[in-house]
Chain A
Amino acid sequence: DAGVIQSPRHEVTEMGQEVTLRCKPISGHNSLFWYRQTMMRGLELLIYFNNNVPIDDSGMPEDRFSAKMPNASFSTLKIQPSEPRDSAVYFCASSLNPGGGQDTQYFGPGTRLTVL
């Protein structure tokens, strides 16, 4: 299995620009999670989907952030407009059989975002 695939691996952009991060979950998994990791705040859950439906987006910082999952094999996290404080590593994770809370989450390699 190829694992969770994220692109790009690195992104450098200027303040005000739109940024789109992409994620392909493991085939057959039906839960998808977006996390943000920074030195100051650690690992934060931004949003998660079950069966392509957003379940909890309480971690999304503000309206500048949006996430979509148009089908079971693809999700995007968009930041528009980007700000320097959005600089972080963004992880996507997927799991099989949501519900019960026992499921292992499989993480992608992350996208390192730098906003100048």
Chain B
Amino acid sequence: AQSVTQLGSHVSVSEGALVLLRCNYSSSVPPYLFWYVQYPNQGLQLLLKYTTGATLVKGINGFEAEFKKSETSFHLTKPSAHMSDAAEYFCAVSEGGGGNKLTFGTGTQLKVEL
């Protein structure tokens, strides 16, 4: 069974600082990995995903994530935080094997301070 661990339920950064949100996964099959973002009172929307190929994945709003198989990690980064990045971020892993069920992490609330 797949699982996802997001370290740090709350992360606070200054505007302009590096954003690093951590995600580690467990999967018995080659994983497909996702980062979703949820703004207040909205549904989740996809930031980026890794399926196959290049391990460094670029997404919307300047975010990127690197798939590291040896570390079973898929950390999300952004070089310079903006106030509009304040939201909750969810890492997810697909069950694989042909199914499209996602297992989500518990989420990380990102706060951006002036």
Contacts and interface: CB of A to CB of B under 8 A. Distances in A.
A42 B3 CA distance: 14
Interface string A63-98: 000000000000000000000000000010101001
A101 B99 contact: yes
Nearest to B29: A101
A104 B34 CA distance: 9
Interface residues on B, range: 20 to 34
A41 to B, nearest CB: 9
B43 A101 contact: no
Nearest to A48: B101
Contacts of A100: 32, 98, 100
Interface of A: 4, 31, 42-43, 45, 48, 50, 55-56, 91, 93, 95, 98-110
Interface of B: 32, 34, 36, 41-46, 49, 51, 90, 94-107
